[in-house]
Chain A
Amino acid sequence: MTQATEVLIPTSAAEAATAFGDGSGVTVIAGGTIVVPEITYGRLKPGKALLLARAGLSGVTRQGTTVTIGAGTPVQELVDLSAPLGPCAANVADLEIRSQGTLGGNVCAGPGPDAPRGDLQGPLLALGAIARSAGADGERTEPLDDFLEDRGNRLLLDVSFEEPAAGAFAAIDYPHTHEYTVLAVSGARAADGTLRFAATGLADHARLLSGDPAAAAGEVRLEDDALASSWYRAKVLPVLVRRVLTELEESA
């Protein structure tokens, strides 16, 4: 249904937060790559549509070693960043989809009906990212893994993280575009030496891993879906963890 009861096009982050309110009855449309087809196919009937195209939420900024990325930043603007975020972004779909899809839409995506979504969640978790969002209790800043639990009720404004000392990204890759990522592992070594690992392609959203290949499959919830079985993912996950570990060790 393309006839929403109300269409709001805020021109600032503050306006967007006000328009979002507590999120009830609001359909957020950033790049539209996930939400617009749902509307076209009649599965989503927006009541209040919040278009973020002009909300000024786009951009990658640096202050010292801290990187902040606006939720409205197109995925294409992330492809040249260092691993794990850069290679992960470059692996998403194709040029046009990356130019329209945003970091916010990707991170806040709910689980897909046929395949996992939210590729960028993994690298951001591995980077120890902090999420700034608006919603029912006003503006909130929290670790990304807490945000992911509540992402359906929040309007993501930006994410920030410390530039890592090293990063790595490994994914099950098909030779054609438009493959959804079956499974991917991100790893990062922070400036203070802390190692973080995360996986995407899981049930619901990306999760942190311990980084121990043997334990990895037991640390996450895997599902059968149109792309692969949970059995297959369980077999491959340790392999991807080992690849990331190797790459991180080599960059030490």
Chain B
Amino acid sequence: MKAVGARLPRYDGVAHVTGRTVFVDDVRVPGTLWVKALRSPVHRADVSGLDVSKAEAMKGVRAVITWKDVPLLEYGHLSALGIPADEPLLAKDDVRYKGQPIAVVAAEDEDTAMAAVEAIKIDFDEKPALLDVRKAFDPDAPVIHQWGNWYPHFEAEMDRRQIRKGDIERAFEEADVIVQGVYRPAAIEHVALETQSCQVVPEANGRLTIHSCTQALYFSLGVVAAHLQVPLNKLKLVGGTVGGGFGGKVDTATETVCCLLAMKSGRPVRWRWTREEEFLCSSTRAPWHMEIADAVTNDGWILGRRMLTLHDSGAYARFSPYGLTKHSFHHTGAYTIPNLHFDGYVVFTNRVPTTAMRGFGVTSISFATETHMSRIADVLGLDPWEIRLKNANRIADTSPNGISYTDPSTVSVVKALAEGVGVELSAALRAMTRDPREGDLLPEHLVAQVGSLEEVH
């Protein structure tokens, strides 16, 4: 192998520094129309009386689309992972987040497209919005999703991810201290410098060429084909350089709409979201609400963990069930805790639907677990390095969902971190390895981890 370990320049580096890299919005095709969307101005409302006739009649407008123009209005992007469809491409009877697209216009120029959007008539009957995941479970909370306020379609129609392992009651009885923490990381915008962009060109042979900023070309190909109800070979996706994605360009947010407008107008179309649209209604990393209570001993063993997670999915499911699933399997982080009581919910709110962002599902628990480990050290008056190395995953320890570790790296990584930041570990800590536990490193609560798994849902 010649490339591995070598320091090679980017193959597109020279194009970047000479301004020649072609991003989606840099493609120029004669006769291309500008696209603008009508978006919900409120968090939640029933909608009626959608009338696009004035927009359609406006000079320079070449096509207007609504939910009526979409062959398959709802398609579950992760249906292959068992997540059913719940989200219309364009709003039909109601809107569930501020910024939700309702109708989209293609016109000769940007000003005309904006004027056409303003000419669309629609009636909003505003409804009370649910904006706080904690309120979703109140008996008097508004019900904002056809499935109820939290996702009910995990395997065996479970309404949560649930893990029960070992004997949590005994762990809490035998603990010296219970250390609690509530962790609520907020939503994060991806803020890729390139906003969502798409250009679609209808070809003479009946195909559609789609210039897309998607991070997942084949995935988006499947989504567009499903919404349009066309064979895959009717679509030609052209990717290339994405101006930053970070997980925010996997929602196939623009491609289907542009295809419909290109088909209806017979012209190439171009949609570039503004930075305001991005902040208003592009999907974000999800906010999380995590409550952790750890049963710990005075000498730093974590006997058991009770945990409740509320994942804010926003108005629709998108990839959230998948994120929560990863989260649940990792909810002890890099550490072994044999007695577990975990419940995790994907909760709907009238906020922007949340999506992938760099390690989604797991970054939340990493943050919460690491903070909690330091908190435990603080409460017990112990060294935070010792807490981590003692409870670190070792060979033959088992994960929350019962998988036996064969190659865990916690011990070596923690030691490398100490070295990297110039902390000298004690001899006892330096002597620790990831070898299967024995002697002092195998206290009674860690005996017989395999076989004590009761429920994983």
Contacts and interface: CB of A to CB of B under 8 A. Distances in A.
Nearest to B110: A2
8 contacts: A1-B111, A1-B114, A1-B115, A2-B111, A3-B111, A41-B274, A41-B276, A42-B114
Contacts of B115: 1
Interface string B102-144: 0000000001001100000000000000000000000000000
A2 B115 CA distance: 12
B120 to A, nearest CB: 14
Contacts of B114: 1, 42
Interface string A32-46: 000000000110000
A3 B276 CA distance: 22
B314 to A, nearest CB: 21
A126 to B, nearest CB: 35
B109 to A, nearest CB: 9
B112 to A, nearest CB: 10
A209 B114 CA distance: 44
Contacts of A42: 114
Nearest to B113: A42
A2 B113 CA distance: 13
A135 B114 CA distance: 33
Contacts of A41: 274, 276
Contacts of A3: 111
A2 B276 CA distance: 19
A36 to B, nearest CB: 14
Interface residues of A, number: 5
Max chain B Cβ within 10 angstroms of own Cβ: one of A2, A3, A41, A42: A42
A42 B274 CA distance: 12
A42 B117 CA distance: 11
A234 B435 CA distance: 59
Interface string B249-276: 0000000000000000000000000101
Nearest to B276: A41
B373 to A, nearest CB: 28
Contacts of A2: 111
Nearest to B114: A42
Interface string A1-38: 11100000000000000000000000000000000000
- 8 pairs of A and B residues whose beta carbons are closest in the complex: A42-B114, A1-B111, A41-B276, A2-B111, A3-B111, A41-B274, A1-B114, A1-B115
B99 to A, nearest CB: 14
Nearest to A1: B111
A43 B47 CA distance: 25
Contacts of B274: 41
A2 B274 CA distance: 16
B177 to A, nearest CB: 36
A17 B114 CA distance: 33
Interface in A198-249: none
Interface in B310-327: none
A2 B114 CA distance: 12
Interface in B258-310: 274, 276
Contacts of B276: 41
A227 to B, nearest CB: 15
B200 to A, nearest CB: 24
A126 B114 CA distance: 44
Contacts of A1: 111, 114-115
A226 B115 CA distance: 29
B118 to A, nearest CB: 8
A1 B109 CA distance: 11
A221 B163 CA distance: 54
Given A2-B111, A3-B111, A41-B274, 5 more contacts: A1-B111, A1-B114, A1-B115, A41-B276, A42-B114
A3 B274 CA distance: 20
Contacts of B111: 1-3
A66 B242 CA distance: 55
A41 B111 CA distance: 10
A147 B272 CA distance: 41
A3 B114 CA distance: 13
A241 B274 CA distance: 40
A3 B115 CA distance: 13
A42 B114 CA distance: 7
A167 to B, nearest CB: 37
A42 B277 CA distance: 13
A4 to B, nearest CB: 12
Nearest to A2: B111
B188 to A, nearest CB: 16
B98 to A, nearest CB: 15
Nearest to B117: A42
Nearest to A40: B274
A1 B111 CA distance: 6
A41 B274 CA distance: 9
Interface in A119-157: none
A178 to B, nearest CB: 12
A77 B115 CA distance: 39
A50 to B, nearest CB: 21
A176 to B, nearest CB: 13
A70 to B, nearest CB: 32
A31 B111 CA distance: 23
B25 to A, nearest CB: 15
Nearest to B118: A42
Nearest to A42: B114
Interface in A29-86: 41-42
Interface string B128-170: 0000000000000000000000000000000000000000000
A95 B372 CA distance: 43
A72 B19 CA distance: 33
Interface in B338-379: none
Interface in A161-182: none
Interface string B67-96: 000000000000000000000000000000
A1 B118 CA distance: 13
B282 to A, nearest CB: 16
Interface in B174-213: none
A41 B280 CA distance: 14
A3 B111 CA distance: 9
